[in-house]
């Protein structure tokens, strides 16, 4: 016992040495840029030299300048819509797929698991381009199929209509990433002890009751992780929109996300002049960071609560 | 989190610091010409080789950047002191901004410059004080491409008025042929090659533009409304689902003979070289009773980096570029769809290029409407015209609302010029 304690004490200091390389890399490539970006959001200047301290000037511009704030709040709202659709579609489907795959006596589990996971392994630029072709109003497969089965009225210019464009892109993104929550839910389901299901069945519980009373509560921590990952992934989303619509958020800024808005202000500048406003860009990046930070704190509170405490409370009830 | 570009830049800096050591050792000088025309490497290399034959001691390397990154990349290079010795300069405000920051050499006194380029030709690369910061190099033209075979089969002739043009569109549509190939998805093209292609006809050419710029005409006057009305009028003749068609889609639709006409710039003719049908271009027709114009837009100038160690050699190159001796070489090596601006410009061999040139000979010209003065503010005139043209074409706004939106957007920042 004594010896064990000594080992533990020593490993405390050694632990730090082992973590040092990772810490250095993290500090240099993650922490420093984030902090520097935060600092730059208080500066303005010409081109890439930001030497003029403007306090909250960039933020004031971001939130009150009529043109800039319109673009910002449009992007902000779109990002939430984009997140909500993915949360609802991608994660619900992921859970459904996991339940089916984990079902007793389901044959071809390996095959279907692979099929569902394949899109995750493809490049976003590739899937974005393929879906752009499928959705093309002139020669896209989707509208040809719709027309041939007599639903020609539904053959819309999906990516060109402000009402459908963001939804279409969210669904493409959901299609691509649904494999991840499926895998995570599946792993969670497989960890639940068979005894619980057996006991419930003996007590006369049906499939739905088992799902609501046993599977769902025990999956709650995983639902929390999946939600946080979806939230982070979507608030930083840029690639899929860029691949399918470009960086200007067409049509009529309907697909402008925080990511594309940041890219236009801070990196590329507005076509065709193309000179970026780095200070304002840093303010956009910092705002995105703060939203993410707050969101993750909240999600942790809601779903990542210490499991013992929760289980204890349930037992009392 | 998104600023990880600094490492490659540092490496680039370090390499750039070594470069002068390697070149200074030789008697002959070697330096680069920066550009956004990544497609033109073959032609420009030929042009520079011709120069090298005349001046064997000066070797110039053409070093283009990806077009959308050019302005930002060039700005960064110049600021870090690793800019190219010679570089393509954008016309008007984008170029002027760099001159103001001291990144372009004043070339007003280059011998022969004023002789070879009229004041009008020099204007896009001239600041308010009349100083030239680049020599004019190439311009692009705009027009309406049309499929001659379809026109012949339908018994149609090239329209000379806007009303006649809409009439041709209607006849084609009635015959089951898509009249126009243009779409909205990429946005810039509906703005640059459709709206600004036809704008001088509706807004009254350079004089009309000047009246807007100087505040004499409000931006929401009847002429501006008529321009947006014209955009609304062509919307029904665009392909099905045109809201979601990209620039590449449009090119493909015209090139596959699936649309009879196509608004585009002269630069596209290179990709239409081997089409299996006969095609030509016509100038966008003006409304009946109005004067017709062609949008002939100064695109690229060439400027000298004042920090260059080879300023004299760079000047030698620019002088050679507009010399009588180089004129035929420039004409044959200038990329297809681009036109030399110098007064001594030699004839270009390409048939279709000449069709474009013919239009500018028979019509007065103007530049793209927003370029000279309306580009820099927020919201820029460019975005205002683009967003409202799209809103009109998709039925979200009336032409009057669009013109009002342009006026109120510009009122936020634009101070009329004197």
| A residues 46-85 closer than 8 Å to B (CB) | 46-49, 65-68
For residue B318, the SS3 value is helix
Is A14 within the bounds of a domain? no
What's the gap in Å between the CA of A76 and the closest CA on chain B? 18
Is B73 within the bounds of a domain? yes
Tens digits of per-residue pLDDT, A65-117?
999 999 999 999 999 999 999 999 999 999 999 999 998 888 889 999 999 99
Contact B185 A143 (CB under 8 A): no
Whichever domain contains B133, its CATH number is 3.40.190.10
| B residues 136-165 closer than 8 Å to A (CB) | none
Contact B97 A275 (CB under 8 A): yes
What's the gap in Å between the CA of A138 and the closest CA on chain B? 7
Query: Are residues B325 and B180 part of one domain?
Result: no
Domain range holding A175? Answer: 57-316
User: For a pLDDT cut of 90, what percent of chain A falls above it?
Assistant: 70
Tens digits of per-residue pLDDT, A180-235?
999 999 999 999 998 998 999 899 888 899 999 999 999 998 998 999 999 988 88
Whether residue A247 has pLDDT greater than 80: yes
The helices-and-strands tally (H runs, E runs) of chain A is 16, 2
Task: Measure the CA–CA gap between B271 and B250, rounded to whole angstroms.
Answer: 13
Contact B241 A137 (CB under 8 A): yes
Pick the last residue of a domain from B334, B357, B380: B357
Is A149 within the bounds of a domain? yes
Task: Write the residue in A33, A46, A248 that is nearest to B4 by C-beta.
Answer: A33
Q: What is the pLDDT of residue A2?
A: 47
Is B417 within the bounds of a domain? no
Whichever domain contains A114, its CATH number is 1.10.3720.10
CA A293, A298, A300, A306: dihedral to nearest 10 degrees? 140
Contact B72 A275 (CB under 8 A): yes
Is B12 within the bounds of a domain? yes
Query: For chain A, how far is it from start to end, CA to CA, in angstroms?
Result: 39
For residue B152, the SS3 value is helix
Is B416 within the bounds of a domain? no
Domain range holding B287? Answer: 141-296+366-411
Is A209 within the bounds of a domain? yes
Is A223 within the bounds of a domain? yes
Query: Are residues B261 and B112 part of one domain?
Result: no
Task: Measure the CA–CA gap between A61 and B386, rounded to whole angstroms.
Answer: 23
Query: Are residues B111 and B23 part of one domain?
Result: yes
Query: Are residues B370 and B278 part of one domain?
Result: yes
A29 contacts in B (CB within 8 Å)?
4
Nearest residue to B298 (alpha-carbon basis) of B142, B158, B144: B142
Is A71 within the bounds of a domain? yes
Tens digits of per-residue pLDDT, A190-202?
999 989 989 998 9
Mean pLDDT of B138-153: 97
Contact A137 B244 (CB under 8 A): yes
Query: Are residues B253 and B332 part of one domain?
Result: no
Query: Are residues B210 and B105 part of one domain?
Result: no
Task: Measure the CA–CA gap between B323 and B344, rounded to whole angstroms.
Answer: 8
Is B318 within the bounds of a domain? yes
Gyration radius from chain B CA atoms: 22
> Where do the DSSP E strands lie in A133-255?
none
**Number of domains present in the structure of chain B:** 2
Query: Are residues B230 and B181 part of one domain?
Result: yes
Query: Are residues B165 and B92 part of one domain?
Result: no
Task: Measure the CA–CA gap between B71 and A273, rounded to whole angstroms.
Answer: 7
Query: Are residues B85 and B164 part of one domain?
Result: no
Query: Are residues B377 and B353 part of one domain?
Result: no
Name the band, by pLDDT with cuts 50, 70 and 90, for residue A12: low
B379 upstream amide cis, omega within 30 of 0: yes
Give the burial class of A226: count Cβ atoms within 10 A of its Cβ; 0-12 exposed, 13-18 middle, 19 or more buried: buried
Task: Write the residue in B71, B185, B409 that is nearest to A250 by C-beta.
Answer: B185
Contact A47 B245 (CB under 8 A): no
CA A288, A292, A294, A296: dihedral to nearest 10 degrees? 180
Is B418 within the bounds of a domain? no
Is B65 within the bounds of a domain? yes
Task: Measure the CA–CA gap between B325 and B330, rounded to whole angstroms.
Answer: 10
pTM, two decimals, is 0.87
Size of interface A-B (CB pairs under 8 A): 129
Pick the last residue of a domain from B357, B387, B403: B357
């Amino acid at each position: 016992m004594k010896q064990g304690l000594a080992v533990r004490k020593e490993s405390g200091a050694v632990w730090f040495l082992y973590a040092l390389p990772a810490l250095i890399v993290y500090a240099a490539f993650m922490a420093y840029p984030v902090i520097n970006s935060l600092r730059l959001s208080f500066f303005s200047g010409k081109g890439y030299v930001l030497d003029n301290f403007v306090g909250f000037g960039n933020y004031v511009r971001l939130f009150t300048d009529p043109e800039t704030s319109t673009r910002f709040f449009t992007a902000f709202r779109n990002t939430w819509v984009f997140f909500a659709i993915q949360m609802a579609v991608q994660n619900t489907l992921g859970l459904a797929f996991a339940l089916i795959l984990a079902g007793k006596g389901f044959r071809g589990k390996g095959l279907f698991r692979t099929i569902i996971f394949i899109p995750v392994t493809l490049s976003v630029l590739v899937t974005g381009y393929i879906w752009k072709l499928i959705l093309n109003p002139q020669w896209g497969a989707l509208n040809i199929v719709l027309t041939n089965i007599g639903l020609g009225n539904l053959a819309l210019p999906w990516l060109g209509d402000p009402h459908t464009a963001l939804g279409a892109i969210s669904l493409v993104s959901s299609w691509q990433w649904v494999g991840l929550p499926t895998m995570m839910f599946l792993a969670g389901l497989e960890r639940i002890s068979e005894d619980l299901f057996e006991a419930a069945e003996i007590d006369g519980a049906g499939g739905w009751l088992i799902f609501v009373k046993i599977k769902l509560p025990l999956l709650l921590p995983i639902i929390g992780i999946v939600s946080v990952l979806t939230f982070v992934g979507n608030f930083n989303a840029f690639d899929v929109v860029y691949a399918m619509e470009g960086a200007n958020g067409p049509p009529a800024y309907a697909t402008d996300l925080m990511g594309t808005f940041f890219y236009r202000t801070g990196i590329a500048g507005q076509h065709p002049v193309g000179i970026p406003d780095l200070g304002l860009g840093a303010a956009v990046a910092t705002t995105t960071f703060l939203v993410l930070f707050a969101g993750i704190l909240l999600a942790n509170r809601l779903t990542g609560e210490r499991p013992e405490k929760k289980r204890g409370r349930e037992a009392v009830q | 989190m998104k600023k990880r570009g600094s490492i490659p830049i540092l490496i680039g800096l370090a390499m750039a610091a070594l470069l002068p050591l390697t070149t200074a050792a030789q008697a002959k000088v070697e330096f680069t010409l920066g550009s956004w025309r990544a497609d033109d490497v073959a032609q420009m290399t030929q042009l520079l080789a011709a120069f090298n034959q005349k001046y064997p001691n000066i070797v110039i390397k053409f070093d283009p950047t990806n077009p959308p990154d050019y302005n930002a990349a060039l700005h960064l290079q110049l600021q870090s002191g690793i800019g190219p010795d010679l570089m393509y300069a954008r016309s008007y405000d984008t170029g002027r901004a760099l001159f103001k920051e001291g990144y372009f050499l004043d070339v007003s006194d280059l011998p022969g410059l004023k002789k070879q380029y009229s004041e009008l030709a020099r204007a896009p690369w001239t600041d308010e004080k009349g100083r030239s910061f680049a020599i004019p190099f190439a311009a692009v033209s705009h027009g309406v491409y049309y499929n001659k075979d379809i026109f012949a089969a339908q018994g149609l002739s090239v329209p000379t008025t806007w009303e006649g043009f809409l009439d041709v569109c209607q006849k084609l549509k009635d015959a089951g042929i898509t009249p126009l190939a243009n779409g909205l998805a990429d946005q810039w093209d509906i703005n640059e090659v459709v709206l600004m292609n036809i704008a001088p006809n509706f807004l009254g050419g350079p004089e009309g533009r000047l009246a807007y710029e100087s505040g004499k005409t409000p931006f929401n006057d009847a002429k501006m409304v008529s321009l947006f009305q014209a955009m609304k009028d062509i919307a029904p003749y665009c392909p099905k689902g045109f809201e979601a068609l990209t620039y590449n889609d449009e090119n493909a639709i015209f090139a596959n003979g699936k649309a009879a006409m196509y608004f585009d710039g002269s630069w596209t003719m290179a990709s239409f070289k081997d089409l299996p049908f006969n095609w030509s271009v016509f100038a966008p027709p003006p409304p009946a009773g109005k004067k017709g114009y062609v949008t002939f837009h100064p695109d690229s100038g060439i400027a000298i980096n004042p920090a260059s160690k080879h300023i004299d050699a760079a000047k030698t190159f620019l002088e050679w570029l507009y010399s009588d001796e180089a004129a035929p070489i420039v004409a044959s090596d200038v990329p297809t769809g681009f036109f030399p601006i110098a007064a001594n410009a030699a004839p270009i061999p390409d048939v279709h290029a000449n069709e474009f040139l013919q239009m500018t000979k028979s019509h007065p010209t103007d530049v793209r409407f927003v370029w000279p003065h309306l580009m820099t503010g927020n919201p820029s005139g460019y975005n205002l015209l683009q967003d409202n043209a799209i809103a009109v074409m998709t039925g979200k706004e009336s032409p009057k609302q669009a013109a009002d939106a342009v006026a109120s957007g510009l009122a936020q920042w634009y101070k009329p010029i004197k």
